[in-house]
Amino acid sequence: MPIASTNRPLEKMMDEKRFRQDLFYRINVIPFMIPPLRERMEDIPVLLDYFIKKITKKSGKRISHVFEDVLERFSQYSWPGNIRELENVIEAAIHLTNGEEITMESLPDYLKESSVFPVGSKKLKEILEETERRVLLQSLNKYHDKLEAAKALGISKSSMYEKLKKYGMTDL
């Protein structure tokens, strides 16, 4: 029995005479709805395991471990490309890894970025503080000078020192 899927509103399209009614009833025998991956994050470990086995069998590479921070990043990401995106990310990670473990470094660049926030697992204040700390650290690494970093961030010297003290970064 063939299976058909779409993300288009076929009922509405029939009303607008943009989809044939007879064809709709021919393919709409047993309708079911599968929620997007972002609504069922608990499926990620099972899917991860499945895709790793599938891709390593095809590629010949061996993957023995996925780091916890990778799993955490996967659970924080919204997966706009759904399961296909997850499979592509895993395939890329397998090909990009140098060893037998999938690490954050194995992931495509857009997943490494700190723009993926731990929504649901942390409060907004914690997320903002963690982000502020990362930005401060990144600025200090780039400019190697607290005053220049403060200037680049558009904050005063005293604000910079207050923030560094707040995050225990005064020795940087």
pLDDT number for residue 155: 94
Tokens 């790793």 belong to 52
Percentage, residues of the chain above pLDDT 90: 55
Q: What are the tokens at 161?
A: 């020192």
pLDDT confidence of 131, banded at 50, 70, 90? confident
What's the pLDDT tens digit per position in 36-68?
898 899 999 999 999 999 999 999 999 999 999
What's the pLDDT tens digit per position in 62-119?
999 999 999 988 988 888 889 999 999 999 999 999 899 999 999 998 888 756 666 6
Under a CB-based contact definition with an 8 Å cutoff, are residues 140 and 146 in contact?
yes
Q: How far apart are CA 144 and CA 148, in angstroms?
A: 8
pLDDT number for residue 118: 64
Q: How far apart are CA 76 and CA 84, in angstroms?
A: 17
CATH architecture of 37-112: Orthogonal Bundle (1.10)
